[in-house]
Every structure is written in C-alpha cells, then in structure tokens.
Structure 1
Amino acid sequence: MSADRNDPDEAHVGKAIDDDPSYLSAILGHAYRGELDRETTWRSRLDQTTTWTVTVMAAILTWAFSSPDNPHYIVLVGVVVATVFLLIEARRYRDYDVYRSRIRLFQQNLFAPALDPDRGLEHADWRTELSEDYRRPTVKITLREAVANRLKRIYAALLGVLLFAWVFRVTAFAPTQASVDDAAVGTVPGSVVVVIVVAYALAIVVVTVWPREREAKEEFREGEYGEWKDSE
C-alpha cells in the first residue's frame, strides 16, 4: 500500500527520525555507505573508458606503423576516437561528481567534527544542502570543467602521444623529403589538414590550462608533495 502524503503520521516520519539521534545516526551511516558504493561504481566506469581509449590507441598506432603503405590518417582517426571517449568520460565524471560531492558533505560535516569537535562544521547548513540534493538531484559542474579535468588527468597526454605519432608518421614515412603535401588526406590538401590539426591541438591546450574557478567540491589537487590541499 502506498503512503498517503497528506497523512500527518506519514508526513512526520522524517521528523520523528530526526528527533531520535540513534535512528538518525543509523540512517546517515547507511546513506553514506550507499553514496560511497555509487561513487565507486562511477569511478570504475571512468577507468573503463580510459582503458578502452588506451586499447584503441595501441591498436591504431601498431597498425599505422606496421607498414609504410598504411595511410597516415588512421592516426587522425585515433584522435577522433580518443576525443569521443573524452566526451563520454567527461559526462561520466559529472555523474561521478554528484555522489562524490555528497560524500564530501558527510566527511566534512559529520565525520570531521566527530573526530575534532573544536573546529566545528565546514558548512553550517550542510543538512539542508544535502536534503535539497536528495529532493532535486542536479549535476554540480559544467561539461567544460569536466572535460578540462579529464584532459589534465589523462587525456591531454594521450592526445599528445597521438598527435606526435601522426607528425612522426607523416615525416618519417615520406617517400622523399618531408613536406606539408605529405599530410594530404584524399582530396583535402596537406596544408588544410595541418591547419586543422594545429587548431585542434591549440584548442586542447587552451581548455586544459585556461584558469577557472572550480565548481566541483574539494578534492586532492596538484601541489607540493606531502601536502593535502583542497581545490582552489
């Protein structure tokens, strides 16, 4: 039988739990474990995407350099595939960040004060914030920030390898002296292909290094070794 939302007894179930610290502690513990499991699941999905990217890259590079007769543009196909995987992983990272942000609320405002009560809460209204997120779940970061995060973590290096491999493939396997014309793809002139590749590389660099204010909740970031620092 479904609960009647207009029934006063049903409407006050949550308040009754809130009034009893033992019930509330048990529920928060279960909630934390559930969020942690969901975060772990999405973390594994991120790793799976990266694994597929590396596998496809290895196969493409192996075939591209196995014979001088193989076309160089197959490496550019690898760049396109890696970019698609990057966008997929960025979307997954946005979902992963939803559960990670909830876990950080628990850690900062429940566990940390329990271990060191003198420092108080990080967020005075953390329960309200968590309640609203349970009522209306929303992603916390933009796609641009998610893409930039995955580029910094792994994809900038992977795409850099592919672009370098393409340059080496075009120049090293040139029949005579290497020139821009060797980069031609079908009827597309080599100069146009080079311009497109350079523009793509510059776009990747800009997205990766462009300064921005992080929207994601705190996590360990790059810094001096031995320091644990929140995001800027």
Structure 2
Amino acid sequence: MRLSDFDSAQLGAMAHLYRGEVYRSTVWRTRLDNTTNWSIVMMGVALTSAFSSPSSSSLPLLVVGMLLLVFLVFEARRYRYFNVWRARARWMETHLYAPMLRGQPVDPAWRDVLARDYETPVHHISFVQALGRRLRRNFIWILAIQSGAYWGKIAIHPFPAQDIHDLIGRAAIGPVPGVAVLIAGVVYNGMWIAVALWSWRVDRARWGPDGGGGSMG
C-alpha cells in the first residue's frame, strides 16, 4: 500500500497518536531518571559517611547496596512501562514515517502489529530483562563504584591493611565474620553481572547486534 491509501483524517489521527506515544514515553523516561538520581544521591551520602573520619564504619556502603537493589527494582518496573510507549513510537517511525520520507510503499502488516498491541496491551519484555537493561545502561556503573569504594575502605582507609587477615578483620560487621561478608559481596555482585550478561544475550538473540527486528520491544 501507499500513503495515498490513507485519507487526510487518518494521517492526522496517526500524527496525534504518535505525539501521544512520544509524550507518554517522555513522562516515563523522566520517572526513570528520578530513580537513577536517587541512587546517585544515596551513593554520595554513603561515601561521605564511610570516609568522613578514620573511625568511620564501612557499613553505610553495604546498606546503600541494599538501597540500590530497591531502586533498581523500581526502575525496572518503570522501564517496562516506558518500553511500551517507546516501542510503539519507534514502530510508527520505522514503518510509517521513514517510508513516507523515502517515498516508498508502506507494508500494511505494520498496522496489524500495532493494532494488536492496542487491543491486547502487554509488556514487551520480562521483568528480569528490564533489570538487565537498566543494569547495563546505568546501575552496573553505580554498583562498580560502590564495590570499589568498599574495597578501598577496608583495604587502605585509614591506613593500608597489613595482610589478608587484617583485611578480613576489617570486613567483619558486629557478630558477622569478615569472610561471610566478603563472600556475600562476591555473590551479590556476581549475580548482577550474570543478569546483565544474560539480558544482553537475550536482546542480541532477539533483535540482533544492531537492535533491529520485526517486533516491538
């Protein structure tokens, strides 16, 4: 089909529909930025508290790790909604507006895909995939800073550790031995690295290395 098969009223309705999807994606994008900003602020508070004096505890750096988990869950949930609006807008850009600009015929199948998405709206990606995407884009760097700061706290602040036993002793928190704390930290960070790599492989397998594909999401 060609664009001439659309009358002026239909093209006007599509333009308003596109504007609405862009607006909704912009609103949810702002909500994503909020959770990232909260994470950065809390990380700054934890760093200030942990390195403010030689006697400061490393506990704030561990607590902020749990807060980062909460913020990451919030952001992944919000990203699933953002992805719906973003995918619809992108679908119209690639299947309507791009052929319009090139003067090419428009494949009518794109309308069926978009119509089904409006009739039976669903999330285009799973919650774990959303977690992985937000990890790869934002949170993996925040978690890396947290891990590096914690290592610096127990290894060199306020003075360098003399040996491995000294390092393990500094990692202890109350009745919790240092070995348990360090193992938990390795598992915690390893879990996020595994989720990020898994989601990257899923995205690459579904949409290819250039992010293209024949479906929304």
Which of the residues 177, 200, 208 maps onto 1:189?
177
Which of the residues 31, 41, 44 maps onto 1:55?
41
Match of 2:19 in 1: 33
Which of the residues 207, 213, 220 maps onto 2:202?
213
Asked whether the 8 Å contact 1:182–1:190 carries over to 2, the reply is yes
- 1:114 & 1:20 partners in 2: Cα distance? 12
- 1:84 CA displacement: 1.2
1:106 aligns with 2:87: no
Structure number with larger C-alpha Rg: 1
TM-score (norm 2): 0.85
Asked whether the 8 Å contact 1:214–1:231 carries over to 2, the reply is no
5+ long unaligned stretches in structure 1: 1-18, 222-228
- 2:211 & 2:45 partners in 1: Cα distance? 38
TM-score (norm 1): 0.80
Matched residue of 1:68: which SS?
Answer: coil
- 2:57 & 2:197 partners in 1: Cα distance? 32
> 1:189–1:174: structure 2 CA closer, same or farther, 3 Å change rule?
farther
Instruction: List aligned pairs for 1:8-87, cutoff 5 A.
Output: 21-87=7-73
Q: Flag the structure with higher helix content.
A: 2
- 2:74 & 2:172 partners in 1: Cα distance? 29
1:165 aligns with 2:149: yes
Which of the residues 79, 99, 102 maps onto 1:116?
102
- 1:117 CA displacement: 3.2
- 1:154 CA displacement: 1.3
- 1:231 CA displacement: 4.7
Question: C-alpha offsets along residues 131-186 of structure 1, whole Å, 9 cap, x if unaligned?
Answer: 12112211100111111111111111110100111111112236863321221111
- 1:197 & 1:137 partners in 2: Cα distance? 39
> 1:50–1:162: structure 2 CA closer, same or farther, 3 Å change rule?
same
- 1:124 CA displacement: 4.3
- 2:196 & 2:91 partners in 1: Cα distance? 28
Question: C-alpha offsets along residues 75-106 of structure 1, whole Å, 9 cap, x if unaligned?
Answer: 01111111211111111111100001100111
Percent sequence identity over aligned pairs: 34
Asked which structure has the greater RCO (Cα within 8 Å, sep 6+), the reply is 2
Asked whether the 8 Å contact 1:42–1:96 carries over to 2, the reply is yes
Q: Give the total of aligned pairs.
A: 204
5+ long unaligned stretches in structure 2: none
Which of the residues 180, 187, 192 maps onto 1:204?
192
- 2:93 & 2:6 partners in 1: Cα distance? 21
Matched residue of 1:179: which SS?
Answer: helix
- 2:108 & 2:13 partners in 1: Cα distance? 20
Match of 1:130 in 2: 114
